[in-house]
Structure 1
Amino acid sequence: MTFRLVSHEPATYHSSISTGQLPMKMNGQALQTSSHLQIIANTSLFKGLTVDMLTAALNQAQYYNFSSQSFIFHQYDKAETTYAILKGQVSLSQTTPMGKQVIINMLGAGDDVAILSVFENAIYPLTAEAVTDCLLLGWSSQTMQRLMEQYPRIALNALQSVTGRFLELQNRYRELATERVEQRIAHALLRLSQKHGQSAPGGVLLKLPNSRQMIAEMTGTTLYTVSRTCRHWEELGLIQSGREQVTILNPVSLSSIAQELPQI
């Protein structure tokens, strides 16, 4: 099997985050193996499709390799591509008019990104950055529109995904408006561990570059506050922090903090 490579020169962006190199692209034909079909079948965007439908979607896709800390797209760019994450972690963030960066969500394998690109003249409301090395599939706006018309299940899956994100944002807004900072940090750690955690001796291991800074940006607080809170929880035996990682040792007690219940 041969691959058609299209290289891109590094792009310059106006951002406080270091800019990575734009990815290499390969035709979707390269992904037509049983293992990749299985990965696609488990993504939120393509769940419930037959093998023939999945193969047809792959034939019209490109895949993208993004290195860690490179940008997938920027806030206010024209929305031209819908992505499905096959591997890696992607942060979605917004920059306020005052220049403050707020992380809205952390996505991983099986999540779709930027489904709004199917709408005419849409713009990306968020910046998407590869937190780790990532492998994504991408479909142009026109291609995704055709796929949705041909396979309505994709449109239904997209609607369910958007609805889920909306409900999650509602919960996040409620947390920011009503909860103490310790509760918000506990909620963030629990959410991240459920989505990105790995089984480890004694608990759940969460590997995230600059994890405390990311948690601060997710919870509307400062790096100092997150560090102080994590140190206190380490003394209580709830978590264990290391370089770019956190191990949750006592999720029950952490959940009690998040819900403001007496600790177990």
Structure 2
Amino acid sequence: MSALDRSILDAVPAFAALTGKEIDIVLAQARSLRYPKGTTVFEQGGAADSFFVLLHGHLQVVKLTPAGQQVVIRYVVPGEMFGIAVQIGRQSYPATAQAVMDSLALVWPSSAWPTLVARCPALAESALHIVGTRLDEAHVRVVELATEEVERRVAHALLRLLKQAGRKVDDGIEVAFPITREDVAQMTGTTLHTVSRILSRWEARGLVESERQRIVVRDPHGLFAIAETAKA
């Protein structure tokens, strides 16, 4: 297999502190894999035998609860390192990652991590930063679920998606990957019926536009006002 060009990691924050030589070391252990839309990258409970960097596309990370309920944990966007179970001492993946559109990722065997960290120490700090950031995100969502009414939770979820993967279109800012009302319900701990009712009300006010797998926020400032204003 031909060597991977180090420029493909230019937009990957996890490798920003590495020297050119260290990046070559990291890439020598990697291979690129394509994941067509709908493909499962790894499954909850499966052996954590690889870790990844997403180069193109988007992934949805979901977790199945003991009661059989599916929860959308987060979305992975290009430039993110993911599947880092081995870096936090896990032997299995805690959730399932699926491609929501055709995607391309770099893949490393988990067995390579100790050698990579030994030769490129900045990688360990990067992994710690990633874990810390995701823990902060989880804390925010726990507080929202415990203290906020559903409408505010949905507003916060959409605003986070825009910040993470929003793109400007003629009529507003679109979430840059396929997303359904059911996905939003699973992100915010509520029902499809409730999310549909909220989005329909917001559509009537000109705040959003939603189709089967598409959400456009037409008035981000109006949505922000809902997210940040507590109701009596």
Under a length normalisation based on structure 2, what TM-score does the superposition of the two structures give? 0.93
Matches within 5 A, 1:139-218: 139-218=108-187
Structure with greater contact order relative to length (CA < 8 Å, sep ≥ 6): 2
**Partner letter of residue 31 of structure 1?**
L
- Please list the CA deviations of residues 34-71 of structure 1 after superposition, one character each: whole Å capped at 9, or x if unmatched: xxx33413213212222222222111101111111111
Q: 1: distance between equivalents of 2:187 and 2:45?
A: 20
CA contact (8 A) 1:207 1:244 kept: no
Match of 1:102 in 2: 71
Note the residue ranges of structure 2 that are not aligned, 5 or more in a row. Answer: none
Percent identity of equivalent pairs: 35
Cα deviation digits, residues 160-187 of structure 1 (max 9, x gap): 0100000000000001111111011101
User: Which of 4, 11, 15 pairs up with 1:46?
Assistant: 15
Deviation at 1:154, TM superposition (A): 0.8
Residue aligning to 2:192: 223
Structure 2 counterpart of 1:18: none
1:256 aligns to what? 225
1:237 to 206, 221, 224: 206
How far off its partner does 1:210 sit? 4.2
Task: Render the CA deviation track for 1:118-155: whole Å, top value 9, x for unaligned.
Answer: 46661111111111111011111121221111111111
Distance 2:149 2:129 in 1: 31
Q: Which of 21, 24, 28 is residue 59 of structure 1 equivalent to? A: 28
Number of residue pairs matched by the alignment: 231
In the alignment, structure 1 segments of 5+ residues that lack a partner are 1-26
1:85 correspondence with 2:54? yes
